[in-house]
């Protein structure tokens, strides 16, 4: 019993109540966000769209996601974390209900793009709010739990989506909308505005007391230390996207059935749900750059091993390796991102960081398809090589990052003394 209590304290102890309400909202949000997983099937099966047209509509959703990430970051820093989360959730619920009853493909395409915007808006606000309320020494645990909730929610969503899609596509969209409203209710009732906890900024000039000068997105987009980290995260995202873009094609070329691909994906999700809560205690003694180098190296090894994979057991073994890498990378990746952001620009920095994922979702299939077509199994050696480059990059970029974080902390302490 004492061992279990100690494990719980190491994993989730000492986190504030606001974090747990944010965590609950995220879990409900992800568990209910299943309708868009079946968007292409809905368009072709229920609305008679061609495969190419369905692809364009799904692409519109992805493009909306890139725009929504930036909008969410700016609004969360200017308007507030809570307000941004509520607006995004309420907007998503309304748009999802609209999709349930829309019949014209042009209307569905516009709604899909708007859903992409509001689905991506909460991500910077969620993370910025977590950083606002969780003490620095406990953020690694908080981000680990966030990653776990995200994957648990996605696993639940995948199961629910299949059942609802077989019953009714209208029900699929309406239940999604209801789950989004439930998440909005948790945020509205239990999550206070956390933006006031951050630095308030500096006066904008003489004669304008109380006005605040807030640097824009350009600050994040010209921060070299931060952009190096974003670039390395982009490489990690390209590796991760292989599982949903190129790996199914490779498995089909090896004569494996779609059920085999489903088994590989399910194994990764099961490992994360079962093991992610044990990661913080495992990596706590080590430098973040070292953990990221090891985790990215494991991902390089796992994907590189697919160069010799032609049977399901090899794919499953490789999936175990790269999933462990993903699990180790999640907490330090999120914490470094939070540490590098000035308090007034937390959400903006998060929005730039989260752009790596829609970018990778475009680059991975676009270039990966060409690579697989022309290189065959050697494609996976290229992917493994990218992982090695990222691992070395983290080792080289680690010391400058640490110096930058130390300087930011010192400036924050000085600002607090001045305000005090």
What's the pLDDT tens digit per position in 81-95? 999 999 999 999 999
Say if CB 338 and CB 141 are below 8 A apart.
Answer: no
Question: Residue 32 corresponds to which tokens in the numbers above?
Answer: 């209910």
- With a threshold of 0.85, does the pTM exceed it? no
Among 31-40, 103-112, 339-348, which range has the highest average pLDDT? 103-112
> DSSP of 195-252, one letter per residue?
GGGS----B-STT-TT-B----HHHHHT-HHHHHHHHHHHHHHHHHHHHHHTHHHHHH
Q: Does domain 17-139+168-192 have CATH number 3.40.50.620?
A: no
- Compute the distance between CA of residue 125 and CA of residue 129 in angstroms, rounded to an integer: 6
**Averaged pLDDT for residues 329-354:** 87
Tokens 């398809």 label which residue? 369
Task: Out of 35-49, 58-72, 168-182, 406-420, pick the least confident.
Answer: 406-420
Please give the average per-residue pLDDT across 362-385, as a whole number: 86
Residue range 217-420, CATH number: 1.20.1250.20
Contact 166, 34 (CB under 8 A): no
pLDDT bucket at 110, cuts 50 / 70 / 90: very high
Task: State yes or no: pLDDT of 357 exceeds 70.
Answer: yes
Residue 209 confidence class, pLDDT cut points 50, 70, 90 = very low
Interval 354-364 mean pLDDT? 82
Helix H, strand E, coil C: the string for 254-297 is: CCCCHHHHHHHHHHHHHHHHHHHHHHHHHHCCCCHHHHHHHHHH
Q: What is the pLDDT of residue 111?
A: 94
Q: Which residue has the higher pLDDT, 299 or 148?
A: 299
Across the chain, mean pLDDT equals: 84
The pLDDT tens digits for 136-172 are 888 888 888 888 888 888 777 766 766 777 778 888 8
DSSP letters, 23-90, are HHHHHHHHHHTTGGGGHHHHHHHTS---HHHHHHHHHHHHHHHHHHHHHHHHHHHHT-HHHHHHHHHH
pLDDT at 416: 65
64-73, 189-198, 269-278, range with the lowest pLDDT: 189-198
Residue 229 pLDDT greater than 90, yes or no: yes
Structure tokens at 262: 């489903």
What burial class does residue 101 get, using C-beta atoms within 10 Å of its C-beta: 0-12 exposed, 13-18 middle, 19+ buried?
exposed
CB count within 10 Å of CB 367 equals 14
Residue 208 has pLDDT above 60, yes or no: no
In sign, the C-alpha dihedral spanning 231, 232, 236, 242 is positive
What's the pLDDT at 8?
Answer: 53
Q: What is the pLDDT of residue 204?
A: 36
Residue 139 pLDDT:
86
Report the range of poorest mean pLDDT among 9-18, 264-273, 380-389, 401-410.
Answer: 9-18
Residue with token string 């090899």: 314
In this prediction, residue 60 carries a pLDDT of 83
Question: Tens digit of pLDDT for each residue in 15-64?
Answer: 899 999 999 998 888 777 767 777 877 888 788 888 678 878 877 887 88
Query: Is a pLDDT exceeding 80 seen at residue 12?
Result: no
Predicted local confidence at residue 279, as pLDDT: 86
pLDDT of residue 6: 60
**What is the structure's pLDDT at 144?**
86
Higher pLDDT, 323 or 368: 323
Residue 207 has a pLDDT of 40
What is the per-residue pLDDT for 360? 84
Greater model confidence, 76 or 207? 76
Mean pLDDT of 119-130: 91
Domain boundaries, the chain: 17-139+168-192, 217-420
Residue 214 has what pLDDT?
A: 52
pLDDT at 5 over 70: no
Name the pLDDT band for 326 (thresholds 50, 70, 90). very high
- Looking at per-residue pLDDT, the higher value among 259 and 360 belongs to 360
Fold matches, 17-139+168-192 and 217-420 = yes
């Amino acid at each position: 019993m004492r061992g279990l209590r100690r494990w719980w304290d190491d994993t989730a102890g000492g986190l504030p109540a606001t974090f747990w309400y944010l965590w609950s909202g995220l879990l409900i949000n992800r568990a209910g966000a299943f309708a868009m997983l079946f968007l292409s099937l809905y368009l072709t099966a229920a609305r008679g769209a061609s495969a190419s047209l369905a692809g364009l509509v799904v692409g519109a959703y992805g493009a909306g996601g890139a725009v929504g990430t930036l909008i969410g970051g700016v609004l969360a820093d200017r308007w507030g974390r809570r307000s941004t989360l509520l607006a995004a959730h309420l907007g998503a619920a309304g748009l999802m209900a609209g999709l349930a009853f829309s019949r014209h493909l042009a209307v569905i395409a516009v709604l899909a793009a708007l859903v992409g915007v509001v689905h991506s808006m909460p991500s910077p606000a969620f993370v910025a709010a977590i950083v606002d309320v969780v003490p620095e020494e406990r953020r690694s645990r908080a981000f680990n739990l966030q990653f776990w909730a995200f994957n648990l929610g996605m696993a639940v969503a995948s199961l629910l989506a299949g059942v609802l899609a077989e019953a009714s596509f209208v029900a699929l969209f309406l239940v999604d909308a209801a789950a989004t409203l439930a998440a909005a209710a948790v945020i509205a009732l239990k999550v206070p505005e956390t933006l006031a906890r951050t630095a308030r900024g500096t006066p904008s000039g003489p004669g304008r007391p109380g006005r605040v000068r807030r640097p824009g997105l350009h600050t994040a987009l010209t921060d070299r230390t931060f952009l190096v980290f974003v670039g390395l995260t982009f490489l990690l995202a390209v590796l991760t996207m292989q599982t949903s873009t190129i790996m199914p094609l490779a498995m089909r070329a090896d004569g494996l059935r779609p059920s085999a691909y489903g088994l590989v994906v399910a194994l990764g999700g099961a490992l994360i749900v079962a093991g992610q809560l044990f990661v913080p205690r495992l990596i706590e003694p080590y430098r973040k750059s070292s953990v990221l180098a090891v985790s990215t190296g494991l991902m390089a090894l796992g994907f590189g091993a697919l160069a010799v994979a032609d049977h399901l057991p090899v794919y499953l073994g490789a999936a175990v390796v790269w999933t462990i890498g993903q699990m180790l990378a999640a907490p330090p990746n999120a914490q470094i991102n939070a540490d590098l952001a000035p308090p007034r620009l937390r959400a903006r920095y998060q929005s730039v960081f989260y752009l790596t994922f829609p970018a990778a979702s475009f680059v991975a299939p676009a270039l990966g398809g060409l690579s697989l077509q022309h290189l065959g199994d050697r494609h996976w050696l290229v992917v493994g090589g990218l992982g090695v480059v990222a691992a070395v990059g983290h080792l080289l970029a680690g010391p400058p990052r640490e110096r930058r974080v130390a300087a930011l902390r010192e400036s924050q302490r000085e600002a607090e003394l001045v305000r005090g």
